[in-house]
């Protein structure tokens, strides 16, 4: 037993020493000084979901650098502290605690992933940390009573599922429709939307996958042997590519319809390499301008920022997504005013009235914490992913799918949202 004393004494010393670095002083608002705001995020920079997603945080950072170069927001520069969780919920637990308890960030911005972020909701809520614009369309983010500080960004997966389902109903009627979803709230919420429109019997074969198993052969077998003609995918990019590639190898070529989170053409083409032509005719839905729309003023702005502040990284849907999040956050900070507190920022989001590059409405309010409420269909033709048809909006309940006709405004001339 005496032998134990030394290691335990060392532990005492180590833990005792590091305590000095952690002391944050008596700052009134964590992560906010007169000249700086520090926010944090968790992203899969490695692991099964890193394809494409690892570029989101650098893009958000690039937008912040662009704003910082112009003087920041209310005289404060924005710093984004990015931690890799490898899309592993256990790691997310660890890194989010590090961000909140150790690095004392003001807020968590755009934490990515349904399975990963679900596990930290209670922790963030108990610490009263604003949990802004989660990068996932799970319906869990929209529970103002239970999680007053959590807000979504993406249209929720049920909204998207309903819009995809109604496209199938109108344009692919009579075709045998099947569904592959991630085995968590992402897949479940999406399927709920699809069956909400097509009915339970309208989806002939329902399959799931888990990100820890990189083989979707059995699922493809099930689709093929049931002669599915349309397959709706609620998959992350790596698994969209895997599914389409595996199906091609097994001689199965249905009409694919992909959720926006896993349907970015450039990301998929990069993953598939030589097999990229398989993506021709791919249908999907999205709510942010596509990289191919080079005449769109938002795309011109983002491309400029990408060249100047993101070392000219590949310009794709992830880049656009990351910068759109950055734009919304700056807009919120402008609205929250100079006396920035955790309460004032949440109040500002709930006041709503935000616009941006998105096609659908952003309807934040006291009792609505979901993100974008509409999407538009996309199709890949000759290596170009482009929009077609109208933008649709709907709710995540039984409401109808209707057209949304308000076009997004042009970005401000200097690219930075004005103070409210």
Partner 1 sequence: MKIVGAFLLLLGLTWIIPAFQNYQLATVAAYLCATAGLTVLTGQNGQLSLGHGALMATGAYTVALMQNAIGVLVLSLAAGVLVTTAAGAVIGVAAARLRGPYLAGVTLAVAVVVPGIATMFDDVLGGDQGLTFYLAPPPFGYDFPFERWQAWIALGAALLTMLLLGNLAASRFGREFRAVRDDEIAAKLSGIHVARTQILAFVVSAAAAGLGGGVLAVLAQSVSPGAFSLTLSLFLVMAIVVGGLGSLAGAVWGAILLVALPDLTARVTDVFALSSAFAQRLEGNLPLAIFGITLIVVMILAPGGIQGLVRRVPYRLMVIAPLLRLVKGR
Contact 277, 265 (CB under 8 A): no
**Beta-bridge partner residues of 402:** 393
Q: Please identify, using beta-carbon distances, which residue of 43 and 163 lies nearer to partner 1.
A: 43
Distance CA 256, CA 178 (A): 10
Taking the complex as a whole, the smallest distance from the CB of residue 9 to partner 1 amounts, in Å, to 7
Cβ at position 311, least distance to partner 1 in Å = 9
Closer Cβ to partner 1, 84 or 229, answer by number: 84
Give the single-character DSSP code of 135: B
**Smaller CB separation from partner 1, 91 or 266:** 91
DSSP 3-state of 256: strand
**For partner 1, the closer CB: 62 or 109:** 62
| Residue with token string 């990351």 | 322
Using CB under 8 A as the criterion, which residues of the chain lie in contact with partner 1 when the complex forms?
Answer: 1-12, 14-16, 18-19, 22-24, 45-47, 54, 58, 84, 86, 88-91, 93, 97-98, 101-102, 114-115, 118-119, 121-123, 126, 183-185, 208, 210-213
Q: Which two tokens stand for residue 133?
A: 């614009």
Neighbours of 138 (CB within 10 A): 25
Give the whole-angstrom CA distance, residue 220 versus residue 227: 10
Which residue carries 């997004």 as its tokens? 408
CB of 383 to partner 1, least distance (A): 25
**Min CB(43)–partner 1 separation in Å:** 9
Name the minimum Å distance from CB 187 to partner 1: 10
Reduced to 3 states (helix: H, G, I; strand: E, B; else coil), residue 369 is: coil
Nearest distance from C-beta of residue 170 to partner 1, angstroms: 33
- Helix (H/G/I), strand (E/B), else coil: 163: helix
> Which of 141, 45, 30, 62 lies closest to 330 in space, CA to CA?
62
In angstroms, rounded to a whole number, what is the distance separating the alpha carbons of residues 310 and 293?
Answer: 20
Residue closer to partner 1, measured from CB, 10 or 70: 10
Cβ closest to partner 1, residue 87 vs residue 167: 87
CA distances to 94, 135, 288, 326 from 65, in Å: 27, 21, 21, 10
HSE of 15 in the Cβ direction (CA atoms, 13 Å)?
Answer: 6
Rank residues 22 and 75 by Cβ distance to partner 1 and give the closer one: 22
- Cα–Cα distance, 63 to 48 (Å, whole number): 26
CA dihedral 260, 265, 271, 274 (to 10 degrees): 150
Q: Which is nearer to partner 1, 152 or 408 (CB)?
A: 152
CB of 214 to partner 1, least distance (A): 12
d(CA 114, CA 89): 9
**CB of 192 vs partner 1, minimal distance in Å:** 15
The tokens for 258 are 């992909």
Nearer to partner 1, 16 or 251 (CB): 16
Q: What are phi and psi of 133, to 5 degrees?
A: 55, 60
Nearer to partner 1, 308 or 403 (CB): 308
Contact between 159 and 373 under an 8 Å Cβ cutoff? The reply is: yes
Closest CB 93 distance from partner 1, rounded Å: 4
Q: Which residue has the tokens 């709510």?
A: 287
Min dist CB 183 to partner 1, Å, is: 4
């Amino acid at each position: 037993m005496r032998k134990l004393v030394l290691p335990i004494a060392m532990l005492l010393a180590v833990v005792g020493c590091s305590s000095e670095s952690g002391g944050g002083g008596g700052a009134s608002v964590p992560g906010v000084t007169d000249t700086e705001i520090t926010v944090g995020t968790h992203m899969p920079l490695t692991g099964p979901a890193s394809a494409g997603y690892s570029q989101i945080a650098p893009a958000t950072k690039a937008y912040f650098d662009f704003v910082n170069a112009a003087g920041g927001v209310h005289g404060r520069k924005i710093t984004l502290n990015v931690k890799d969780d490898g899309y592993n919920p256990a790691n997310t637990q660890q890194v989010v605690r590090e961000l909140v308890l150790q690095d004392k960030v003001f807020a968590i911005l755009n934490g990515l992933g349904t399975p990963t972020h679900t596990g930290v909701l209670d922790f963030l809520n108990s610490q009263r940390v604003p949990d802004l614009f989660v990068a996932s369309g799970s319906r869990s983010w929209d529970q103002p009573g239970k999680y007053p500080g959590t807000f979504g960004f993406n249209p929720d997966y049920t909204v998207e599922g309903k819009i995809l389902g109604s496209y199938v109903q109108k344009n692919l009627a009579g075709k045998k429709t099947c569904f592959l979803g991630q085995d968590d709230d992402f897949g479940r919420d999406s399927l709920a939307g699809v069956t909400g429109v097509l009915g339970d019997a309208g989806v002939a074969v329902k399959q799931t996958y888990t990100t820890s198993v990189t083989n979707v052969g059995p699922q493809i077998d099930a689709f093929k042997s049931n002669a599915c003609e349309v397959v709706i995918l609620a998959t992350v990019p790596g698994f969209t590519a895997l599914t389409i590639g595996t199906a091609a190898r097994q001689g199965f070529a249905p009409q694919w319809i992909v959720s926006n989170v896993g349907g970015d053409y450039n990301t998929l083409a990069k993953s598939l390499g030589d097999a990229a032509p398989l993506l021709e005719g791919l249908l999907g839905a999205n709510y942010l301008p596509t990289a191919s729309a080079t005449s769109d003023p938002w795309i011109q702005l983002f491309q400029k920022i990408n060249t100047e502040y993101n070392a000219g990284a590949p310009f794709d849907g992830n880049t656009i997504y990351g910068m759109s999040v950055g734009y919304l956050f700056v807009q919120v900070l402008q609205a929250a005013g100079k006396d920035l507190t955790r309460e004032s920022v949440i109040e500002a989001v709930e006041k709503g009235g935000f616009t941006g590059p998105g096609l659908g409405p952003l309807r934040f309010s006291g009792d609505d914490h979901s993100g974008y409420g509409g999407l538009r269909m996309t199709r890949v033709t000759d290596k170009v992913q482009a929009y077609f048809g109208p933008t649709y909006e709907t709710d995540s309940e039984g409401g109808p799918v209707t057209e949304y006709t308000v076009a997004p405004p042009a970005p401000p001339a200097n690219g930075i949202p004005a103070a409210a």
